[in-house]
Copies of this chain bind each other. A is one copy, B any other.
Amino acid sequence: MSRRDDVLATLAAAPGFLAAQQVYTRLRARQIGIGLATVYRVLAALEAEGVADVVRSAGGETLYRLCRSSGHHHHLLCRDCGRAEELDAAVVERWAAGVAREHGFDDVSHTVEIVGRCSRCRG
């Protein structure tokens, strides 16, 4: 099994986003002798291929997660357990495009992240 597959398996097993360091730690915990550099290289490749989503944490880390849907989408993230749900958001798409046009902006892309507390964590 290639290191790439090891990283993919780790991401696939996670409910939400993982930092590179977390991927590394989990693999080492499973006795897989991967290097941190390889983790970073694989994650960068997955991002480039569009296989993984990327968000930046408040602490400045880069977090990765496998894309569950292929198209453009957004995330709903639990701030306590890190659980992430992917959202389809035609409404925001249209909103974003419209607002941009009003301001004379073109060629628009956007980021939407919603963070809250999920039912499980609300207790």
Seen from chain A, the residues whose Cβ lies within 8 Å of a Cβ on chain B are: 56, 60, 62, 76, 78, 85, 87, 89, 91-92, 95-96, 99-100, 103-119, 122
Contacts and interface: CB of A to CB of B under 8 A. Distances in A.
The prevalent SS among residues of A at the interface is: strand
A113 B111 contact: yes
Contact of A108 (B109, B110, B115): B115
A121 to B, nearest CB: 9
Number of copies of this chain that the complex holds:
2
A114 B108 contact: yes
A118 B91 contact: no
A81 to B, nearest CB: 11
B109 A116 contact: yes
